[in-house]
Amino acid sequence: MSSETHFTDFKSDEQPTWCPGCGDFGTMNGMMKALAETGNDPDNTFVVAGIGCSGKIGTYMHSYALHGVHGRALPVGTGVKLANPDLEVMVAGGDGDGYSIGVGHFIHAVRRNIDITYVVMDNRIYGLTKGQASPTSRQGFETATSPDGTVEPPVNPLALALAAGGTFIAQSFSSDSQRHADLVQQAIEHDGFGFVNVFSPCVTFNDVDTYDYFRDAIVNLDETGHDPGNYQAARDKIMDPGTEHIGVLYQAEDSVPFSDREGIDSNMADIPDGAPERADRLVREFY
Amino acid sequence: MENDLNWAIGGEAGDGIDSTGKIFARALSRAGRHVFTSKDFASRIRGGYTAYKVRTGVERVESVVDRLDILIALTERTIEENLDELRAGSVVIYDGEQTTMADVEVPTEMIGLEVPLTALAEEAGGAIMRNVVALGAACEVAGFPVEYLDEALVKRFGEKGEAIVANNREAARLGQEYVREETDCPNQFSLETTDEDYVLLNGDEAIGMAAIAAGCRFYAGYPITPATDIMEYLTGRIEAFGGAVVQAEDELSAINMALGAARAGARAMTGTSGPGIDLMSETFGLVATSETPLVIANVMRSGPSTGMPTKQEQGDLNAMLYGGHGEIPRFVLAPTTIGECFDKTVEAFNLAEKYQLPVYLTADLSMAVTEQTYRPERFDMESVEIDRGKVVDPEEVEEWLDEKGRFRAHAATEDGISPRALPGTPEAAHMTTGLEHDELGRRTEEEDVRVEQVQKRQRKVDTAREREDFDYREFGDPDADTLVLSWGSNEGAMREALEMLDDRGIDVRFLSVPYIYPRPDLTEAVESAETIIVVECNATGQFADLIEHDTLSRVERVTKYTGVRFMADELADEIEAAIDNEAPPQEVRR
Ligand SMILES: Cc1ncc(C[n+]2csc(CCOP(=O)(O)OP(=O)(O)O)c2C)c(N)n1
Ligand code: SF4
């Protein structure tokens, strides 16, 4: 790690193919800034990305990275972090990736409290497959697969995280760049699973959850005197789906990451040339 | 033959059948006798017939036979289930005072030995020990010194305190004395003991032990019969070597966690059985195309769908060879004995890292749950060698950078194997994707790059064929006209069948093949034989198909898909019949 890392060190030389104006640009810049601010560099950083427009983020960033299959980024990130606790692991994906096909893994990663950072680019639509309803789409939203409007109410990812025992739950807005970078940084610094749901508008397929909509609707928790350590207050805010909060909704003070509970602290890549010294005793057990 | 004893205990699931069987098996192995066990269990926790069988000899025993000398029957059904295997002179031990056994009728040619198991157990300190009373009784019938049980009882109950161990010893003694003093059961066996030290373990345990020896430090799995034993073995042991086991939320998660750990540089493994393999197959493709070394243990059970979870089958061969969309280079290793589970597991990790691809390591239920004795030297830790393949150290990174200083993680080398930089290696940060990519790992749809990468990945398999020794094991008469081939756990029964066939004047050459893909070239062996027979536990003959494909020769199929493994005598009969079948030529049976 070097303190001189600049956020552009995390930029790959590939040109993003995101639509001009896509919220994912801002989301990514904030992530890179937060990584640099926390003293990381590309050689000790591992980014795992999902599938979707959002998932392309791993391609546009420079670090060790894996772009996996749809919905499974969190288990990959879990494996990376447990195998080598020295790595800074960041997992990123979309609302479809994380809350639809991957929702099971989301709940369990939260519950395990793996010490990674999870950033979801929530545009409330499927972008890459060209505009179908996502689990966070509002009820009644008209899309290619719901021409008469969706009938299901949206999931509330923050509530899922809280119910699963989340220890750091935040929400940010990709175009509020300073605040967004700051929230991701806090998630990185959190000892445990740092979850940030990011309003990251899709300018091509979602004409409801637009920049203008968010600018008007957002309530910044910093300005309301919200105390993230107050579970009840966090629960009340999270269970109020009519309001678009940004900020840290909840942070547990007593968070103990999975690896601490399990006593995992070594880099598992380091193994002896042959069987470990004490391996003989494994055979003796079968006497 | 007094020294080859076939023994069983049967009852309801929940009666402690398994642990009682294990205690007896362990006592025999402590006494320097060879043991081969088999289990008959139903897919339920309580209720349902279940049995644990032990075959023991001073010579090595490699299979089960359809003969029982001593049967401990805790339920009437146990006798019914085993009638075919009971012979004149077989001894059936049962508790006549037990309500369910009050009217039991042991066929006259057998010896019914009524022992008040529960009453004696209560005398020793608790009815729960009735199985141990029965063990003591069985020792007396078998002419096997009851003292050998003691060590096994300590192993089983030691953690529960000395008093419990003492009570169990007493229970065994009471069982023994009762038979000696209160019955006139002829002491018809006299089991010889030897000074040999054996270890007793099953296939899943051999795989788990080898994984630790081979440097596996991360295992993620989701419980499924009959693969769970691997996970349970590793849990509680791998930690002492700096590793971890994670019980994932499902198989999709398990394989992705293992993939993540492997990308981070750990030797990683996941394990499951058929249904789990299906769930893993999408990520299986990602493992291959991202060129990540990963070992996936598939302990096969009977399919399709949920099939018969506690029954034997070798039906997943096609799924392992062809599963997953697109074209995926992979290796498939199938150890043929419990001992070989150890070697092939070590080899699986080396192959995975040397060729940077997923390796299926497959056992079948019979091998996974069977316990067998081995000399401890069979599991020689000194001989474990670890080859991590082309992992680049920081000094070597330079060689693999392009003109712009970017690491060529998928460099299309001559042998198809690229440099591998573990995260943390300076200047080698790179991205890996399941999308088709160029040498740098960047997404591409360019035709020539696509072709180059497909060929590069495939080339690794050709390289492996050149560099590795994908051989087979040979038994029987090398010049025989009849060639028998098999894979997986059929080897033991087949070797015994060879002797039986030999007694009948039938010469057979037998090849046991532990490599499914890449596999040894069997053309010459097949062409030099008149009759070629493939033995496997599935309905269609999946391995036979491969042999036909490779050698363009017609093969006979001896298949079994009842859910029960082959027995030696049955195999001998089937092979004899298949030879007689030879003329006139018939269509390939499918
Ligand atoms: C198993 C599987 N099913 C479906 C797809 C197709 N697919 C690709 S991206 C996507 C949805 C992406 O939506 P979201 O996560 O919201 O990301 P966005 O593109 O909006 O950023 C789908 C369904 C796939 N790649 N894999
Ligand atoms: S389709 Fe939407 S989400 Fe995808 S790049 Fe364009 S704006 Fe972004």
Scanning the structure block, which residue is given the tokens 């349902």? B48
With CB atoms and an 8 Å threshold, state whether B199 touches A286: yes
Q: How far is the CA of A287 from the centre of ligand 1 (A)?
A: 53
Tens-place pLDDT, residues B153-203:
999 999 999 999 999 999 999 999 999 999 988 767 889 999 999 999 999
Question: Are B283 and A69 in contact (CB < 8 Å)?
Answer: yes
pLDDT band at B99 (very low <50, low <70, confident <90, very high): confident
B55's tokens: 């075959």
A19 pLDDT exceeds 60? Answer: yes
Among protein residues, the one whose CA lies closest to atom 26 of ligand 1: A70
Q: Which run of H or E residues covers position B570?
A: helix B568-580
**Residue A203 CB less than 6 A away from ligand 2:** yes
Q: Residue B47 has what pLDDT?
A: 73
- Which residue in A15, A48, A47, A64 sits closest to B431, CA to CA? A64
Q: For B476, what's the count of Cα atoms within 13 Å in the CB-facing half-sphere?
A: 27
Helical residues (DSSP H) of B427-505, grouped into ranges:
447-467, 491-503
- Under an 8 A CB cutoff, do B199 and A266 touch? no
Tokens 């018939």 belong to residue? B586
Tokens of B349: 């990790």
How does residue B585 score in pLDDT terms, banded at 50, 70 and 90?
Answer: very low
A25 within ligand 2 shell (Cβ under 6 A)? no
Of A64, A72, A81, the CB nearest to B252: A72
How much is the average pLDDT of B20-40? 96
Residue B376 distance to chain A (closest CA, Å): 7
Cross-strand bridge partners of residue B60: none
Rounded to a whole number, what is the distance in Å from the CA of A139 to chain B's nearest CA?
30
Nearest to B397 by CA among B431, B377, B422, B380: B422
pTM to 2 decimal places: 0.96
CB contact under 8 A, A79 and B218: yes
Share of chain B above pLDDT 90, in %: 91
Which residue lies with its CA nearest to atom 2 of ligand 1? A70
E strand intervals along A159-271? 168-173, 194-199, 218-220, 244-251
Helix axes B117-124, B162-182, angle to 10 degrees: 140
**Which residues in chain A have Cβ-Cβ distances shorter than 8 Å to B261?**
79-80, 82-83, 268
Question: Which residues of B are less than 8 Å from A88 in CB distance?
Answer: none
Nearest CA in chain A to B443: A59
Torsion of CA B220, B223, B229, B233, to 10 degrees: 40
10 Å Cβ neighbour count for B190? Answer: 10
Calculate how far, in angstroms, residue A135's C-alpha sits from the geometric centre of ligand 1. 12
Distance CA B296, CA B219 (A): 10
Is B93 strand, coil or helix? Answer: strand
- Residues forming a β-bridge with A49: A67, A92
Residue with tokens 């300005």: A223
Average pLDDT over residues B446-457: 98
What are the contacts of B502-505 at 24+ separation with CB within 8 A? Answer: B502/B476, B504/B572, B504/B576
Please report which confidence band the pLDDT of residue B588 belongs to, taking 50, 70 and 90 as the band edges.
Answer: very low
Given A108, A274, A279, which is nearest B212 (Cβ)?
Answer: A279
Mean of pLDDT values over B415-426: 98
The span from the CA of B389 to the CA of A280, in Å, is 25
Nearest residue (by CA) to ligand 1, atom 8, is A52
Closest CA in chain A for residue B284:
A69
Ligand 1 centroid to Cα of residue A54, in Å, is 9
Within chain A, strands assigned E span 45-49, 64-67, 88-94, 117-122, 168-173, 194-199, 218-220, 244-251
Ordered alpha helix ranges (H), B183-326: 203-213, 228-234, 251-263, 274-289, 317-322
pLDDT, one tens digit per residue, over B461-495 is 999 999 999 999 999 999 999 999 999 999 999 99
- Residue B262: list chain A partners with CB under 8 A: 79, 83
Measured from the Cα of A128, ligand 1's closest atom is 19
CA distance B374 to B369: 15
| B523 min Cα distance to partner chain A (Å) | 36
Nearest-CA distance A152 → chain B (Å): 26
Q: Kindly list the residues from chain B whose CB atom is less than 8 angstroms away from the CB atom of residue A11.
A: none
ipTM over 0.90: yes
Is residue A259 within 8 A of residue A81, CB to CB? The reply is yes
Q: What is the number of the ligand 1 atom nearest to the C-alpha of A202?
A: 20
Question: A51 alpha carbon to ligand 1 midpoint, in Å?
Answer: 5
> Average pLDDT for residues A2-16, to the nearest whole number?
88
B431 interaction partners in chain A (CB closer than 8 Å): 12, 47, 58-59, 61-67
Q: What is the pLDDT of residue A177?
A: 97
Per DSSP, the three-state class of B234 is helix
CB pairs under 8 A between A and B: 209
Q: How far is the CA of A67 from the centre of ligand 1 (A)?
A: 13
Pocket, ligand 1, Cβ cutoff 6 A: A 51-54, 70, 93-97, 121, 123, 125-129, 134
Contact across the interface for B423 and A44, Cβ inside 8 Å: yes
Chain B: residue whose CA lies nearest to A267: B266
What is the crossing angle of helices B17-30 and B130-142, to 10°? 40
Q: Which residues of A touch B214 (CB under 8 A)?
A: 275
Cα–Cα distances (Å) from A210 to A200, A203, A215, A217, in that order, read 9, 7, 9, 10
Give residue-wise pLDDT tens across range B313-353. 999 999 999 999 999 999 999 999 999 999 999 999 999 99
Q: Does ligand 2 have an atom closer than 6 angstroms to the CB of A22?
A: yes
| Count of CA atoms in the C-beta half-sphere (13 A) of A238 | 26
**Protein residue closest via CA to atom 4 of ligand 1:** A70
Please report the pLDDT score of residue A75 as a whole number.
98
pLDDT(B131) > 70: yes
The pLDDT of residue B51 is above 90: yes
Across the range B30-50, mean pLDDT stands at 86
Percent of chain A at pLDDT > 90 equals 98
The proportion of chain B whose per-residue pLDDT surpasses 70, expressed as a percent, equals: 97
Task: Give the mutation target among A205, A208, A211 for probing the ligand 2 site: most ligand atoms within 8 A of CB.
Answer: A205
CB of B290 within 8 Å of a chain A CB? The answer is: yes
Calpha distance B276→B590 (Å, rounded): 27
Residue type at B328? I
Residue B58, both tokens = 């001073």
Distance A145 CA to ligand 2 centre (A): 17
Confidence of residue A141 (pLDDT cuts 50, 70, 90): very high
Is the CB of A24 within 6 Å of ligand 2?
yes
Over 90: is that where the pLDDT of B581 sits? no
Burial class (CB in 10 A: 0-12, 13-18, 19+), B453: buried
Among the partner-chain residues A64, A105, A282, the one whose CB lies closest to the CB of B209 is A282
Q: How far apart are CA B533 and CA B367, in angstroms?
A: 22
Tell me which DSSP letter residue B65 carries: -
3-state secondary structure of B425: coil
> Contact B302/B275 with Cβ under 8 angstroms?
no
CA of A197 to the centre of ligand 2 (A): 17
* Cα gap B136→B172, rounded to integer Å: 4
**Nearest alpha carbon to residue B141 among B183, B107, B104:** B183
Structure tokens at A164: 């699963």
List all residues of chain B from 424 to 443 with a beta carbon under 8 Å from chain A. Answer: 424-435, 442-443
Reduce the DSSP state of residue B254 to 3 states and report it.
Answer: helix
Between positions 13 and 42 of B, the ones with CB within 8 A of A are 30
Cβ of residue B403 closer than 8 Å to a chain A Cβ: no
The pLDDT value recorded for residue A85 is 97
Place of tokens 């025992």: A165
Output the six-digit token pair for B359. Answer: 């390796």
Q: Report the distance separating Cα A105 and Cα B346, nearest Å.
A: 31
Query: Quick one: CA dihedral B85, B90, B96, B102, positive or negative?
Result: positive
Q: Kindly tell me if the per-residue pLDDT of B120 is higher than 80.
A: yes
SS3 content of chain B, % helix, strand, coil (to 5): 40, 20, 40
Instruction: Please check the confidence at residue A286 and state whether its pLDDT lies above 70.
Output: yes
φ/ψ (deg, to 5) at A45: -110, 140
Å from CA of A282 to ligand 2 middle:
54
Say if CB B534 and CB B555 are below 8 A apart.
Answer: yes
Q: Measured from the CB, is residue A121 less than 6 Å from ligand 2?
A: no
Side chain identity, residue B409? A
Alpha-carbon distance of A208 to A137, in angstroms, equals 10
By the 10 Å C-beta count (0-12 exposed, 13-18 middle, 19+ buried), A169 is classed as: buried
Kindly report the protein residue whose alpha carbon is nearest to atom 6 of ligand 2.
Answer: A19
pLDDT for res B582: 52
Select from A70, A111, A71, A63 the least CA-distant residue to A88: A63
pLDDT, average across residues A19-42: 98
Give the residue from B254, B241, B493 showing the smallest Cα distance to A272.
B241
Angle formed by the axes of helices A73-83 and B251-263, nearest 10°: 50
Average of per-residue pLDDT values in chain B:
95
Whether residues B261 and A268 touch (CB distance < 8 A) is answered with: yes
What is d(CA B246, CA B256) in angstroms, rounded to the nearest whole number? 12
Residue B584 has pLDDT above 60, yes or no: no
